[in-house]
Amino acid sequence: MPKFAHLLAGFLAPLCIATFFLSTLLTELFGSHAAVAQLKSLIVTPGLWIMVPLMAAAGGSGMLLARSRKGRLVEAKKKRMPFIAANGLLVLVPCAIVLNRWAVAGSFDTAFYVVQAIELVAGATNLALMGLNARDGLRMAGRLRIGPAVAEKAR
Ligand code: HEM
């Protein structure tokens, strides 16, 4: 059961961040202020209420699975998780809330775009870290073919 939960959360959590990232980029580039405000509101509710539990589920179920595993791949995944969690809770969540407030108030000034840029960089960072965790996870589960050098690390 934790295996299936981890596979599901490990797939949906990065998908969630990727959706926020792409929809933000597209609406900022091509959408009206009203469209940006609508998206900011959707990212907070229901977005954050989906993203935060998914990240916690991926991390929590991963830690459970890791109890019976050793090796550099699992250690690398464990080391990445605090950065993913801190980046999510301390940067992405506050940025989403502040941007939503400002967008509702129609305040699209320099501060808005600075925070928007910070949010995009943090989102891309988390996407990359989660991508690495998914790659290493698929390798450990034997779903991704690995060469002899990586097989050595997995032991
Ligand atoms: C958001 C972060 C994470 C993502 C996106 C992620 C993603 C994945 C994916 C996609 C798999 C393959 C599952 C399968 O094919 O059945 C996997 C497996 C695995 N993950 Fe994670 N993972 C994350 C965090 C963690 C953490 C923090 C740990 C703890 C060290 C961990 C430990 C494992 C282990 C041990 C497996 C192998 C399970 C098996 O033997 O089948 N994961 N992960």
Task: For residues 62 and 20, give the distance between their C-alpha atoms in angstroms, rounded to a whole number.
Answer: 23
Ligand 1 mutation target, pool 6, 7, 63, most atoms within 8 A of CB: 6
pLDDT value at residue 1: 76
Q: Which of 88, 80, 86, 81 is nearest to 119 (CA)?
A: 88
Pick the atom of ligand 1 nearest to 84's CA: 1
Radius of gyration of the chain (CA): 17
Per-residue pLDDT of the chain (155 residues; tens, 9 = 90+): 789 999 999 999 999 999 999 999 999 999 999 999 999 999 999 999 999 999 999 999 999 999 999 999 999 999 999 999 999 999 999 999 999 999 999 999 999 999 999 999 999 999 999 999 999 999 999 999 877 776 776 66
CA distances from 20 to 15, 84, 86, 123 (A): 9, 16, 18, 8
- Which residues are near ligand 1 (CB < 6 Å)? 3, 6-7, 10-11, 13-14, 55, 58-59, 62-63, 65-66, 69, 74, 77-78, 81, 84, 130, 133-134, 137-138, 140-141, 143
Given ligand 1 and candidates 52, 61, 63, 65, which is best to mutate, with the most ligand atoms within 8 Å of its CB? Answer: 65
Cα(151) to centroid(ligand 1), Å: 16
Q: How many CA atoms lie within 13 A of 32 on its CB side?
A: 3
The ranges assigned to domains in the chain are 2-154
pLDDT at 62: 97
